[in-house]
Amino acid sequence: MATTLPPYIWKNGFAQPAKVAVWADDAHHLTDTGDGPHYTTPPAQEPLTSSSHNSLGLNVLRTWPTLYNGTESPHGAPPWWDPQKEVDVLICGGGPFGLELAVSLARQGVSFRIVDKAETPLLSGRADAIQPRSLELLHSWGLAEEVHEEGPILDHTAIFKNGMKLFYNRSFTCDSRYRGIHVITQGQLERIYIRDLLRHKAVVERRTTVEKFEVNQDSFTSYPVTATLKNLNTGRTELVHAKYLVGGDGAASAIREQLKIPFDGITTDIYWAIMDCVFKTDYPYITTFG
């Protein structure tokens, strides 16, 4: 599963093991006059990412709760955070879709609040890559570089059956400036969005759900949606009025169920396995898709 990489330092042109991570070593952040950094590195945690482990040890992933956990930060919400009772958009769900919408609204000056029942961003698993056209959209927000620098590019496809190679060639790509599939886990993408929201002074309200909502059909109402937010830790509820309510809470969306919207679609007998791991293999096309 997803795990924290050991610290290293670039010396003599290549990575070498280090006792302390560079970002945590103040000696690497001194000015020409010997002054120390003007900031303090936030405390890090390494929660477990898997219930099953192997000879390599426990699977943990370093994260910074004060940066990524929103209202569930050990230090509490930022002092500048002032949630409004009336907003243009209320977003239920802090996954990639809900966060993307928030990132877009922040750039348009549209007021919003975003809530999610999870305590933290995703630690491991689920989606694992982003397509070129998505990077075009992220480029317009100034986030493309942060995303495509997270992992390698898959630009070849290899298909084997019973040990025999059936196909190996470059993957079909569109005419985007970003070629191939860029590997990035869903959790990494969520953290990039969260960092961007912090730049716009927006925070994900963690351990919070939309318990119920009503829509006033009166055309003269400026905020027709009245939603009851519930903090799952304290049980405290709050009324929020919004012009729009967005259900970005996944396939088992509580918003969709309350609206009695059916979940149409089909299922197949095709199964995909996603593994966050270190491979030791003689497979010659390990950096390809297939």
Along the 290 residues of the chain, how does pLDDT read in single tens digits? 467 777 888 777 787 888 888 777 777 777 788 887 766 778 888 888 877 777 767 778 888 898 899 999 998 888 999 999 999 999 999 999 999 999 999 999 999 999 999 999 998 878 888 999 999 999 999 999 999 888 888 888 888 888 889 988 887 667 888 888 888 989 999 999 999 999 999 999 999 999 999 999 887 889 999 999 999 999 999 999 999 999 999 888 999 999 999 888 777 787 777 666 667 788 877 767 65
pLDDT at 53: 73
CA distance linking residue 111 with residue 271, whole number of Å? 40
pLDDT at 265: 78
Cα–Cα distances in Å, from 16 out to 26, 61, 146, 287? 19, 20, 24, 23
Q: What are phi and psi of 115, to 5 degrees?
A: -120, 155
CA distance linking residue 77 with residue 115, whole number of Å? 13
pLDDT at 276: 64
- Report the chain's terminal Cα–Cα distance, integer Å: 20
pLDDT at 289: 64
Q: What is the pTM of this model?
A: 0.85
CB distance 258 to 252 below 8 Å: no
pLDDT at 245: 97
CA distance linking residue 205 with residue 119, whole number of Å? 9
CB distance 102 to 194 below 8 Å: no
Whose tokens are 């009324």? That residue is 239
Q: By C-alpha distance, which of 149, 116, 128, 140 is closest to 229?
A: 116
